[in-house]
Structure 1
Amino acid sequence: MKKIIYSKFGGAEVLQIAEVPIPAVQATTILIKVKAVSINPLDWKIRNGEMKIMSGSKFPKGIGIDFSGIVEETGTAATKYNKGDEVFGILDVFKGEALSEYLTVEEKDIAIRPRNISFEQAAAMPVVGSAALQIFKTLVSLKKGAEILINGASGGIGMFATQIAKMSGAIVTTVVGDSGIPAGKDWGADFVVNYRNEDVLKGNKQYDVVIDLSGKMPFTKAKQIMKHSSAYIHTAPGPKEIITSFFINLFSSKKYKLLMLKPSPEYLAELTGYAEDGIAIVVSKVYPFNSFKKAYTEVPDGKFIGKAVITMDGVV
């Protein structure tokens, strides 16, 4: 089978197609024929070598964390799913190898694809949807009437965080660029700020929660628009942020919280429910498999609304 790998840290140019054996099914594992794979910032942060402490430096490495596909074979002890089931799921965040024709998973890693969404939409859910759920379940208390600012809200996490926060009764302000304004409104934000025309840091509004998804609003700036008891969320922390947040949280009532994504079957189940209820899942760009280098060159520019995915179409 074909699989995308890389043998050294670097840009999209280090990615290559490798011919490798189809993984063998063990007693507790399930073989999935992959249909689509989502593209996430973690993919290139790991590939660039920014997260060596978590990902390690052993090569070759695969790429891709969340996916959708069809059950091809099940192990003798894996009885929850059957051949032909259409599923979506998530691999180990720092060791993901989803961008391949086949992969093996444990039962806990997948869920049945909701029939009202496509394979592409299903692949787009697990990482960003789980991230949004984890923010609101473990990092902050999502209370009715809470003022939440989501900076850089037009991407995947912003898409889910905006809608989930609104469903919980929060008052949501999203900061986006020109192209993100319609999406922010469609996703239910109470206020949609175009950062090109307005600087939220210069406004008078104070927030209970500030979620920075763009990497352009550090805690040192965000704290000026945070309420006395509030929280700032960093969604892609490295060693520097871990150390910084520790000392800030010792002395400040404005907390600096880090999202260290920990997928769970409960999150997949909850996302299934949201999808079945019609939550918006925008996939604005779909790349065929053989355009993987183009995909990983274009998507980091951040010009897409919602998510971009790679399908197995075009595998030759």
Structure 2
Amino acid sequence: MKAAVISKYGRDQKLSLVDIDVPVCGACDALVEIHAASLNPIDFKIRDGKIRFIRSYSFPWIMGHDLAGVVTAVGSKVTRFKVGDKVFSRPRNGRTGSLAQFIAVNENELALMPKNLSFEEAASIPLVGLTSWQALFDTAHMKSGDHVFIQAGSGGVGSFAVQLAKQFGAYVITTTSSRNVEFVRGLGADEVIDYTSKKFEDVLQNVDIVFDTLGGEALYKSFQVLRPGGWVVSISGDPDQRLAQDMGLNFFKREVLRLVGRKANKLAAKARAHYRFIFMHSSGSQLAQIAQLIEAGKIKPIIDKVFSFEESQLAVEYLEQGRSRGKVVIKIR
């Protein structure tokens, strides 16, 4: 099969289409013929070696974490899927690699595609959907009526999170550039802050939940707008010792991440609030719930641009510009 790979860490590494073996389908796996995949910032962060302190990768490494396709074979213990099913997934870490013609995925990490989506649309959903679900519900325990501030509402994660929070009764606030103000309002944002003319820390207060997708100073300033007891959940900020414990990292790495996360945790303590950095985890059951929302017309996929398989490197470069509205998708077949 064909796969898009890099041969080592480095920002200068370019994707190459190479021939490799079709993956082996284990007893609990489904072999999926991939029709579409999507890219996320985690892809080029891995390429650049920015997370190898936490998680290492072997090379050649197949890029891509999201996929939609058709089941072509199932293992002997698979009970929930059959050959011919249209599915989508964000496979577990260590088994990703969706810029390829086939992938083997544990059945617990698969869900049936929403019936009203194309393969390209379905491939745009898994990582951003699971990340938003786990940040807002599993971590911050969002409930109806909460004031939820979602950074960068026009981005891949932000555009999904805005819709999800609104559907569950939150008052949704987000930031975006002036060209995207009406776009994020159309997604359900109740209050939009144009970051080119206003600073969110100057206009917000008593927010229940901040979903930080930017990190850096945007993360640190988020604690200024929280109510006591509120939550900042970050996917781009400072990992800390709790993440290290969740991942089972050794004592040395736990101590290093304790120091890395010290500033954010001190700001949380000062604000009498909670802080968590999260990595999403694979979940077919949560994807199935998300699929129900999509089939009911309550959430829609947001795609900025679709590239061909042969244009995978161009797609990475486009995403790295940081100006996409929604997801960047690659059509595999």
TM-score normalised by structure 2 residue count: 0.87
- Please tell me whether the aligned partners of residues 219 and 256 of structure 1 are also in contact (alpha carbons under 8 angstroms): no
Find the counterpart in structure 2 of residue 280 from structure 1.
300
Cα distance, 1:38–1:57 mapped onto 2, change above 3 Å: closer
SS of equivalent residue, structure 1 residue 104 = strand
Q: Helix, strand or coil for the counterpart of 2:53?
A: helix
Deviation at 1:122, TM superposition (A): 0.8
> Match for residue 147 of structure 1?
147
CA–CA distance in structure 1, aligned partners of residues 201 and 234 of structure 2: 17
Mapped contact 1:248–1:255 kept (Cα < 8 A): no
User: 1:183·1:305 contact (CA, 8 Å) conserved in 2?
Assistant: no
Please state whether the residue corresponding to 2:89 is helix, strand or coil.
Answer: strand
1:154-186 superposed Cα distances (whole Å, 9 cap, x missing partner): 112212211121122211111001332232111
Residue pair 2:87, 2:112 contacting (<8 A) in 1 also: yes
Aligned-residue offset at 1:87? 0.8
Structure 1 stretch displaced more, 77-86 or 181-190: 77-86
2:201 corresponds to which letter in structure 1? L
Give the Cα separation in 1 of the matches to 2:112 and 2:91: 15
Q: Which residue of 2 aligns with 1:198?
A: 198
2:39 pairs with 1:39: yes
Structure 1: unaligned runs, 5 residues or longer? none
Is 1:307 matched up with 2:332?
Answer: no
Give the structure 1 partner of residue 77 of structure 2.
77
Give the match's secondary structure for 2:157: helix
- 5+ long unaligned stretches in structure 2: 240-256
User: One-letter code of the match for 2:7?
Assistant: S
Taking the TM superposition and a 5 Å limit, the aligned residue runs for 1:157-306 are 157-203=157-203, 205-215=205-215, 217-237=217-237, 238=239, 239=257, 241-246=260-265, 248=267, 252-278=271-297, 279-306=299-326
- Output the CA distance in 2 between the equivalents of 1:251 and 1:94: 37
Conserved 8 A contact 1:33-1:71: yes
- Which residue pairs with 1:98 in the alignment? 98
Question: Which deviates more from structure 2 when the two are superposed, residues 82-91 or residues 200-209?
Answer: 200-209
Over the aligned positions, Cα root-mean-square deviation in angstroms equals: 2.0
* SS in structure 1 of the partner of residue 13 of structure 2: helix
Residues 7, 60 of structure 1: 8 Å contact kept: yes
- Contact conserved, 2:175 with 2:194, CA < 8 A, in 1? yes
Which residue pairs with 2:245 in the alignment? none
> Cα deviation per residue 1:262-289 (whole Å; 9 max; x = unaligned)?
1212211111111111112111210100
Kindly tell me the number of residue pairs found equivalent between the two proteins: 313
Aligned residues of 1:8 and 1:14 also touching (Cα < 8 A):
no
Which whole-Å deviations, capped at 9, do the CAs of 1:166-219 have from their partners, x for residues lacking one?
122211111001332232111111111211122222225431212222335434
Query: Deviation of residue 52 (structure 1)?
Result: 0.4
| Identity percentage of aligned residues | 28
Q: Kindly indicate whether the alpha-carbon contact (under 8 Å) linking 1:231 and 1:256 is maintained by their aligned counterparts in 2.
A: yes
Instruction: Report the equivalent of 2:17.
Output: 17
Given the two structures, how large is their TM-score scaled by the length of structure 1?
0.92
State the AA in 2 paired with 1:282: I
**1:94, CA displacement in angstroms?**
5.5
Change (3 A) 1:204 1:175: closer
